[in-house]
Structure 1
Amino acid sequence: MSVDLSILDLAQVGADETVRDSFAASVDMAQRAETWGYKRIWYAEHHNMSTIASSAPAVLIAHVAANTQTIRLGAGGVMLPNHAPLTIAEQFGTLASLHPGRIDLGLGRAPGSDQQTFAALRRTIADADRFPSDVLELQGFLTGHSRIEGVRATPGGVDVPLYILGSSLFGAQLAAALGLPYAFASHFAPAALLDAVALYRREFQPSEQLDAPYVIAGVGVIADDDEAVAADQLLRAKRARVTALFGRANGRKFTDEEADAILSLPQGRQIDQMMQYAGVGTPSQVREYLDWFAGHADADELIVASLAPDRGVWLNTFGHLAPAAAPVNS
C-alpha cells in the first residue's frame, strides 16, 4: 500500500535567524515542495516560543499560499480552545475563497502553550471542555449550515476539509464519531499511537466529508548523505529540546555539556520518548524507516517534520525524501 507524504513546517527560528528569515525559508521550502511531490504542508499554532514562528497559522498560510501555486496548505493545527469558532471559520473561509481547493483545517484541543500564556489569551480550561461542540459549530459555519440562528460566517459555504488532531484516545474517539480524518502527533507524543489509531478505525462512522477512516501520522526526520551529519543534527535537536523543556520557565539556555548531562538523567529520557518515532540517517535509511513506520502506524499518510537545527540540512532533508524521486511504500 502506497502512502502520501506531507510536511509539517514548524517555522523554526534558527540561532542566527530572525522571524522574517524563518518565513522566507518556509516560502522557499513550499515552492520546492510543489515540485518535489509532497501532498500538503501544515503549520501548527504555538505561542510564547521564541524558536517557533507559527503563532498565527492563518496569516502564515495566506503568505505561503500567495507565493505558491498548487500545493495544499493548512493548519496542523489551530488550537480551537484559543478561539471563537466563528473567527476561525471566517479566517479559513477567506483563505479558501482566495485559494480554492488548497486549504485544510486541522483542529487541536490543547492550548498550544503554557498555562500563563493560556491566561494571556483570555482562555480557561473550560474552553477546552467545549471542543467537541465547538468543532460542530465551526463545521456548520464553514458548510453554510450554521448551528446558531441568525449567525452566518462570511465567507461561508466553502470547501475546507476538517481534520481532528490528537495524541490521545479522546481525539480518536471524536474523529471517529464525527467521521473526520484523524492526524496523530506521533512526532512528539507517541505513547498512544497504536491504541488511538486502532480505536479510530474500529469506531469510525462515515460522514458527508469522509466515507472511510483516514489516518495521518507525524514522524520526525533528518536525512543527509553523510550519516554522521544526520546523527550530529539529532543530538543538536535533543539539546535544543532540553532548553525548550527545562529552561523555558526562567529563560535559561543550557550549554552543550549541561544539556548532555540532563539527557543522561531520567528526566532526559522524556526527550528520547518524545522523539521515539524519528527516521535519522542517509536518505535510503530514512526512506526505509518511513516505509516501516507507515505500516507500524497503520497510516494512510505520513506528515514529516525535519528535526535538523541546521537550515541547510533541514531543507535538504525534504529534498532527499521527495516523493517524486522515491515514493514511500508499505
Structure 2
Amino acid sequence: MTCTLPVSLLEVPGTEAGRSPAETVPGVVRFARRAQELGFHRIWYPEHHGSPWVLDVPPALFIAHVAALTSTIRVGSGGALAGNHAPLSLAEQFGALAAFHPGRIDLGIGRGPGTLDAEAARALRRGQPPLTDEEYGESVTELLRRVGDRQEVPEPWLLASSEAGAALAAKRGLPMAFAYHIRPKNAARAVERYRSGFRPSRWSRTPRVMLSVETVCAETEAEAARLSRPIDLVRLEVMSGREKQPLPDPESAAHHVMTAQEQELLRDSRDRVQGTPAQVGRRLADIGSRFGADELMLYLPLYDTTSRIRSLELVAGAVSGSALRPAAAPHSPAR
C-alpha cells in the first residue's frame, strides 16, 4: 500500500549547536525550496516562545520570508496562536501576506501559549489568564470575520489536538489540522466528532481533515533510530514541563541511556512514522486510511538542515507521485 494523499510539511525551525539564528535561517529557506521542487503541497511554521531549541521567529515573518523566496508552494502558520494576539492584528498580518502572495497563504489558527516558560506566557497575555473555551471561540469568530472582510483572503484552518478543538472547527465550518504528532490517542474521537458536527460555511462546503505526523525516514532502520534520538530527549523534557537544552546532535544524544520509564513514556506519547522509505510509505498510507484523512502534514524533527532535506527526499520517493501534486483547489470563500 502506497500513500496517495496530498503531502505537506510542518517545519519547526530549530537551532543547531554553535550556530546563530542568522546562520540557521538560510537552512529553513533551503528546506522550503527543496520541498517545492519535490512537489510538496504546503509548508507551515509554528509559533514558539522562550524555547532553547526552536527559533522564536513569529510565523508571519517566516511566511513572508519563505514565500518571497519560493514561487508555488503554499506557506502558512501552524499555527498563529489566538490567545497571544488581537484578532485585528492577525487579520492585518495575514491579509497583507495574502495580498503579497495571492493564492498561496494559509492561516492555521491555534490556541496554546506556544511556550512552557511561565514568564513568557504572562508577557504574551499581558498578565491576563489563558483564554477560556468561550473566549477562544469568540476570538476565532472575530478573526474569521476580520479576515473575511479583506480584499485578499488567506485559507483558514483550525488546529486541534482534542475533541473540543475538533468541535469548534466543525461549528465554524473550517478545515481541521489535527496534531496527531502531539496527541495520537485523541485522533479517532476528534475526527469523528469533527465530521459528525460539521456545518458547511463560506470557508469549506465539506469537512476536510489534515493530520500532522512525526516522520523520520532514512536508508536504514538503524540510521532512522539514530536520527530520532535527539527529538526523543527533547520530548522527555517537554513531558516533564521544562525545556532546558537545545536539540542535541545525534552523536551527543547517542550517549544518553534511556531508562525503562523513559522508554515507556515515549511509547505512550507518540506514534512516529520511522524507518526506511518502504516502511514509511506503508505507515503513512495506513494512518491516512485509518482516519480518512484528506491530507497529511509531515513533521521531520531532525537536527540539521542536511539531514532534514535527505529525509524529505527519501519520503518523496516513498509516496505515490499523486501525493506530491497539489491538492484539489479548496472552495473559494464567498464575498
Q: CA RMSD in A?
A: 2.4
Q: Which residue of 2 aligns with 1:132?
A: 137
Instruction: Choose 68-77 or 183-192, whichever is displaced more.
Output: 183-192
Q: Distance in 2 between matches of 1:303 and 1:108?
A: 16
1:142 equivalenced with 2:143 (yes/no): no
Q: CA deviation at 1:257?
A: 8.1
For the 8 Å contact 1:14–1:311, the answer to whether it is kept is no
Asked if the contact 1:3/1:302 (under 8 Å) is kept, the reply is: yes
Name the amino acid aligned to 1:4.
Answer: P
**Structure 2 residue identity aligned to 1:124:** Q
> Could you list the per-position Cα deviations for residues 125-172 of structure 1 after superposition, in whole angstroms to 9, with x for gaps in the alignment?
35344111111111111111xxxxxxxxxxx23221211101101110
Q: Tell me the distance in 2 between the aligned counterparts of 1:258 and 1:235.
A: 10
Name the residue aligned to 1:225.
219
Under a length normalisation based on structure 1, what TM-score does the superposition of the two structures give? 0.88
Q: Of 162, 170, 176, which residue of structure 1 is paired with 2:170?
A: 176
Q: Which residue of 188, 193, 196 corresponds with 1:199?
A: 193
- The structural deviation recorded for 1:91 is 0.6
- Secondary structure at 1:73 match in 2: strand
Structure 2 counterpart SS, 1:218: strand
Hey, what's the Cα distance between the residues in 2 that align with 1:20 and 1:297? Answer: 40
How far apart, in 1, do the equivalents of 2:211 and 2:180 lie? 6
When residues 62 and 172 of structure 1 are mapped into structure 2, their CA distance, relative to the original with a 3 A threshold, is same
**CA shift in 2, pair 1:75/1:241, >3 Å:** same
In structure 1, what is the Cα distance between the partners aligned to 2:164 and 2:73? 30
| Other-structure match for 1:19 | 21
- Alignment map for 1:103-122 (pairs within 5 Å): 103-114=105-116, 115-121=118-124, 122=126
Q: Do 1:118 and 1:124's aligned partners in 2 also have CA atoms closer than 8 Å?
A: no
CA deviation after TM superposition for structure 1 residue 227, in Å: 2.3
- 3-state DSSP class of the match of 2:279? helix
Unaligned residue ranges in structure 1 (runs of 5+): 145-155
Percent identity over paired residues: 34
Contact 2:280–2:318, Cα closer than 8 Å, also in 1? no
SS in 1 for 2:316: coil
Q: Name the SS of the counterpart of 2:312 in structure 1.
A: helix
Q: CA deviation at 1:324?
A: 9.8
Question: Which stretch of structure 1 is more off in the superposition, 313-322 or 31-40?
Answer: 313-322
SS state of the match for residue 144, structure 2? helix
Contact 1:38 1:323 in 2 (8 A): no
Provide TM-score, normalisation by structure 2. Answer: 0.87
2:260 pairs, out of 264, 268, 271, with: 264
AA of the residue aligned to 1:290: L
TM-aligned CA deviation for residue 250 of structure 1: 6.0
Q: Name which structure has the greater RCO, CA cutoff 8 Å, separation 6+.
A: 2
SS at the partner of 2:140? helix
Q: Find the counterpart in structure 2 of residue 301 from structure 1.
A: 295
Distance 1:320 1:251 in 2: 29
After superposition, the Cα gap between the structure-2 partners of 1:257 and 1:34, relative to the gap in structure 1 and judged at 3 Å, is closer
For 1:52, what is the secondary structure of its paired residue?
A: coil
Q: Which runs of 5+ in 2 are unaligned?
A: 324-335
Separation in structure 1 between the aligned mates of residue 305 and residue 32 of structure 2, nearest angstrom: 14
Deviations 1:196-225 (A, max 9, x none): 001101111111110110001011111111
Aligned to 1:75: 77
Aligned length: 315
Mean CA deviation greater in 306-315 or 85-94: 306-315
Which of these residues, 32, 57, 60, is aligned with residue 58 of structure 1? 60
AA matched with 2:43:
I
